[in-house]
Amino acid sequence: MATQPKKTNTKSPATKSKTVRKRRSSKNKSNNSNFKKNLFIVFGVFLMISMVAFGYFLGQQDMLSTQTPIAQTYKTEEAETKKKLLNDLSKIKTQKPKETKELSEKKVSREEIKTVTTPLPQEEEKVSTKVVKKEPKVRVVGSVGKPKLVIIIDDVSNARQLKKIQALHMKITPSIFPPSERSMKSHTLARGLKHYMIHLPMESGSKQFNKQYKTLKTTFTKEEIIARAKELRVLFPTARYVNNHTGSVFTDDYKGMLTLYTALKEEGFMFVDSRTIASTKVPNIVKKFGDAYVARDAFIDNVHNVKTIHKQLRKVVEKAKKKGYAIAIGHPHAVTMKALSEAKSILKDVELVYIDDLMTI
């Protein structure tokens, strides 16, 4: 049996050539496409880098342009400040001799010149180490013009008495009782008053007087005395001055009086000594605090007639002329009111003032 020959897939040379050309063309197209893509990527990266670099350059320029005026302004302001300071110091140096001359013409002491003139920088250390004598916390106001006279009317407990005092149209200071058997509402008289005092009952040698409501006694404890001072502040919210009703025993007791004086000061009060006893301890106590001692110079109506009251007024006027001021104490008697209303000629050489015009706290 005869065998047939195998068929071979043979292509013609022309066909092979076409196939090769197609493959090469496809490969070239692919290479061209990849090259373009790579070129585009490189260009994009370069463009981004260029933009970032340009942005950074612009930012640096902007910062420089912003900073320059600030630095220049700061330097200008600093120079102006230094110039102003030098000018100020120059003015101080120029004015000081003028101020000193003016003060010397007024016969002001060397210490006062140091206080009034503005110290130069090199003088500050000297001024700070200077010892200045402190004024007393309570003191009598310096006398200017006529001698000053204070007239206090004690024992005021009702509106009728107060109206009689006010009807005189004179600068007279009423001293009002705290609530007592005479009037449990006496403290209300002080409402609306600008010038008045508290007339505080204090222990005396008279058992009768010591029976008055809430009279302060030397047997009271420290706590009781302090409580009384606090009560006075509640009863008389605007009061500043207190004087004693009787009180010869209490003001002569150092311990009790010291406790009371301390408590009154804590409540903002100033104590005016009615001097019901010569051995009063108040002068020693106020000295301890550095305060001025203020006390009555005369009772004017121990004798109830106009002539005697006028005689007492003349005496107290003479005391005022000698020391610059004086304090007289009377009571709301009808004869006292009459004597005061007729005392214009006696009082012509003094200035009648309220207690708070004479003293300062």
Look up the domain containing 76 and give its range: 22-108
Percent of the chain with pLDDT over 70: 65
On whether both 351 and 264 belong to a single domain, the answer is yes
Q: Which of 162, 93, 142, 97 is nearest to 122 (CA)?
A: 93
Give me the number of domains the chain comprises. Answer: 2
Q: What is the CA radius of gyration of the chain?
A: 51
User: Tokens 């009703």 map to which residue?
Assistant: 245
> What tens digit of pLDDT does each residue of 246-264 get?
999 999 999 999 999 999 9
**What mean pLDDT is reported for the chain?**
79
Identify whether 12 is part of a domain: no
In a domain? residue 184: yes
Q: Does some domain include residue 44?
A: yes
Quote the CA–CA distance of 169 and 314 in Å, as a whole number.
20
Q: In whole angstroms, give the CA distance from residue 176 to residue 274.
A: 14
Q: Is the model's pTM score more than 0.75?
A: no
Q: What is the pLDDT of residues 107-131, one digit of tens each?
A: 433 333 233 333 333 333 333 333 3
CA within 13 Å, CB half, 318: 7
Domain assignment present for 155:
yes
Q: Which of 62, 86, 108 is the last residue of a domain?
A: 108
Asked if residue 152 and residue 97 are part of one domain, the reply reads no
Beta carbons of 152 and 329 less than 8 angstroms apart:
yes
Domain containing 164 — which CATH number?
3.20.20.370
The answer to the question of residue 14 being in a domain is no
- Return the closest-CA partner of residue 355 out of 287, 281, 298, 271: 271
**Which residue in 123, 124, 136, 176 sits closest to 293, CA to CA?**
136
